[in-house]
Amino acid sequence: MNVYKISGRIGQGAHGIVMKAINVKTNREVALKRINYRRPSELVPMHVFREILCLKLVDHHFVVELLDVFTHSLGCVLVFDFMPSGLAEMIQDDEFELGEAEIKSYMLMLLSGISHIHSMHIMHRDLKPANLLIDKYGILKIADFGLGRLYHHNQTVVYSHQVATRWYRAPELLYSARHYDKGVDLWAVGCIFAEMLTRTPLFPGENDIEQLALVLYTLGTPTETTWPGLSSLPDYNKIVFPESPGIPFPELLPDSDFEIVDLISQFLCYDSSKRPTAIEAMHNAYFFKKPTPCPLCNMPKPKADHRRQLANKPSFLNVDSSMEEIFQDLNELISYELSSSSSQSSDLSDDSSSSSCSLPTMTRHSYIRRLLRKKIKKGCFKTQSLDSLSDKSKEKRSKLSRSLSFLCFASCATSRLH
């Protein structure tokens, strides 16, 4: 540890903290990922062992390089090159142009790295913008192999379903599949691709049930035809959602060319065996039409303090980024309903014994959920309220309208556990 001089803190994860440091012998800027063990007598935790193993096996230009590993105090330290930013920050920072040429280059770097990882029979299992780092030259590097796992084509091998960050988790994992393959990584690639195009997460669920609801509502209700083996998944019979026809991809990705819509729809396929491999995706027509991918030497280059600069900016908000923000806009949409809440409270009650005095005890969000469920189910929601929001753009009104429909869809889900 004496070789490194700590110069700052980069961030903190579930298993430890990441510090910025300088190698005093070489003057090289590095990132130190310090992982603390839970107990002094504990051996190297499995997730640490797997991360080290995966990084030792993988040697690729678009994957972070493990420079060193050493024990320290009650844990160990992994040493990497310092990366001033990540794809999450590049998406969030509107000062950086994310044109189609830049997105194509990021996608090709990601797919090239994933192709090599999969060729080594490794599943990453936690691909997301925050785990795709950007170096000072603008080059994307796949990082954080804490959930990485060697995989086998033998479908009898059992894996954990509690992997991947929720917003990028493949539907088979949401249904608790224990047998899966590299297709879970390709689903995440599709989510990342869509997020770069819209600069907002495609499926921002706040819990596992809501995440599954978002996927089913957006892509449409799957069947055994579109998803062979669906009914045999462990959690398939635990909850049922109303039928959804799905949202056409051109609506989700307005102004996107056919090639973009086609490639994303291939990644976001329920049947994982039909998702394109990374190599197949790299040969998609999308990457060969103009504008051509941005040369790597011309990619946006983040400053050394990009993360700190971004932290001082106002939060990046979008109507699709969280249910909290959706509710803020929904409050405006149904303000005319809330103004007469006293007369409506009896209509909201699920049984005749409830009275209007129970309304104040509800949370505002619970009230809105129940109101939307009643109103939309009866087909009496006043859609003209959308037009009254003159300060909202047409696109935002469209997103809010979809949010209303989704809330109704999710609230109508019924459990099969009882």
Q: Which residues are tagged catalytic?
A: 126
Q: Which single residue is written with the structure tokens 């307005």? A: 254
Give 6's strand partners: 21
In three-state secondary structure terms, 288 is: helix
**Contacts for 75 with CB less than 8 Å, ≥ 6 apart:** 16, 34, 35, 36, 37
CA distance 305 to 296: 21
- Rounded to the nearest 5 percent, the helix, strand and coil shares of the chain are 45, 15, 45
Q: Is 33 annotated as a binding residue?
A: yes
CA distance 228 to 274: 11
β strands within 192-328, DSSP E: 239-240
Give 23's strand partners: 4, 28
Q: Which long-range contacts (CB under 8 A, 24 or more apart) does 205-210 make?
A: 205/166, 205/167, 206/322, 206/323, 207/166, 208/166, 208/174, 209/239, 209/410, 209/413, 210/323, 210/410
CB atoms within 10 A of CB 321: 15
Q: Which helix (H) or strand (E) holds 212?
A: helix 208-219
CA distance 22 to 30: 6
Alpha helices by DSSP H, 120-206: 171-174, 183-198
Alpha-carbon separation of residue 199 from 10, 71, 217, 232, 319 (angstroms) = 23, 39, 21, 35, 12
Q: Is the dihedral of CA 216, 243, 398, 389 positive or negative?
A: negative
Q: Which residues are annotated as a binding site?
A: 33
Q: Which residues are annotated as a binding site for ATP?
A: 33
